[in-house]
Amino acid sequence: RINIAVGLLPSPKLLILDEPTVGVDPQSRTNILETLKELNKEGLTILYTSHYMEEVEFLCHRIAIMDLGKIIAIGSLNELRLLVGERDLLRISTANEISKDLVETVKKIPDVSEARVLDESIEILTLHGRKLLPQIIEIFGDAGIKIKSVEVKEPNLESVFLHLTGKELRD
């Protein structure tokens, strides 16, 4: 924390941080991340390196993924997701049985790559889960299917990293 404060003393336009939260307690980590986010909103450019993917997702507008010392991809989180073809997972639990016809109707929606029934729910893989959700809900309503719950899981940065590098996170 002291190193970050020292780095901010001359009111820089650029702050370079290398793993600033390693060895920091959870409360201090949260404080550091929120402070950095606020400083960025105020116009400070931050170059942030970390193995903690959730920190990068929270802080960064543009992300560069490095492997063996070389940048292998750069872009926003959404751009990186699209680059590797990572899909959103929609899981819709229903009160009624889901017919094969309904599954086939869902599969015909542009950008739906897969739809499968699991017990009393359907799992749908798509590039644009939140965008397609109203259309899917309407299809279920038209078919008389009562929806109990909807869950949208978007791929995180770690899954994108693993897809690009084929490797686990490492030091």
Res 48: pLDDT: 95
| Token pair for 68 | 């063996």
Check whether residue 56 and residue 95 sit in a common domain: no
End-to-end CA distance of the chain: 22
Res 171: pLDDT: 47
Residue found by looking up tokens 């909103």 in the block:
41
CA-based R_g, the chain, Å: 21
| Number of domains into which the chain is organized | 2
Inter-residue contact 55 to 169 (CB < 8 Å) = no
Residue 108 structural domain:
87-153
User: Cα angle at 105 between 160 and 136, to 5 degrees?
Assistant: 60
Round to whole Å and give the CA distance between 132 and 90. Answer: 10
Round to whole Å and give the CA distance between 37 and 32. Answer: 9
Q: Within a domain: residue 170?
A: no
φ/ψ region of 166 (left if φ > 0, alpha if ψ in -120 to 50, else beta) reads: left
Closest CA to 154 of 76, 48, 65, 67: 76
Q: Within a domain: residue 35?
A: yes
Q: Within a domain: residue 15?
A: yes
Phi, psi angles (nearest 5°) of residue 151? -130, 130
Res 169: pLDDT: 54
DSSP state of 170: -
Check whether residue 109 and residue 125 sit in a common domain: yes
Helices (H), the chain: 2-8, 26-41, 53-59, 77-84, 100-107, 129-142, 157-165
pLDDT by 10-residue block (mean), the chain, 171 residues? 66 89 92 92 94 95 94 93 86 92 94 90 90 94 94 90 76 47
Check whether residue 58 and residue 107 sit in a common domain: no
Check whether residue 125 and residue 101 sit in a common domain: yes
